[in-house]
Homo-oligomer: A and B are copies of this chain.
């Protein structure tokens, strides 16, 4: 597909370099932009320029922020004795939308995955250890995906963090709310029996 303009070609290449967008979709998106007015497309371009120039990583928890320290770390309403460890900023958004957690976060920036060449030193684990040495921190909650990589990282973190004298907990695994027992996989169901709770606990949520 030889495009009749090198600027068109560059824009198509830019879209096509994104994950999950092929050249045909990239061309469709580029032609969509060409149908819009100049101001719209200049704003579109400017959004990505500002993104890379202005968005910072919070120096406390590695959340994304416009400031040096993110709004969650700065908020006096958050409980600074709790640190919830997550893989990615999207996990913060997911947990915040539950409105069930009022502590702080720590973004690892990935999971340990020897297959993908990601080791502990590629993650923000050293920084996490340093944060746990602050006297006000009493508990660290590991909120990682229930995958092989998540479990590997959970186990590595537990061995690193347990000697530091803080309580290390992990989010509950069991059958999802609304799930039918019949269709739950046997590993999840088995875990949910092993990790059963006193009935009174289930009433408090």
Contacts and interface: CB of A to CB of B under 8 A. Distances in A.
B55 A49 contact: no
Contact of A89 (B4, B38, B47): B4
Interface in A7-53: 7-8, 10-11, 13-14, 17-20, 25, 27-34, 36, 38, 41-53
B45 A49 contact: yes
Tell me the interface secondary structure of chain A in the complex. Answer: helix
A181 interface: no
A201 interface: no
Q: Which of A8, A63, A71 has the most CB of B within 10 A?
A: A8
B19 A33 contact: no
A2 interface: yes
A93 interface: yes
Interface string A137-178: 000000000000000000000000000000000000000000
A36 B124 CA distance: 18
A8 B52 contact: no
A123 interface: no
A157 B33 CA distance: 28
B48 A52 contact: no
Interface of A: 1-8, 10-11, 13-14, 17-20, 25, 27-34, 36, 38, 41-55, 63-66, 70-72, 88-90, 92-93, 96-97
14 contacts: A5-B54, A7-B66, A8-B51, A11-B47, A11-B48, A18-B32, A19-B28, A19-B29, A31-B89, A34-B52, A38-B53, A41-B51, A41-B52, A45-B46
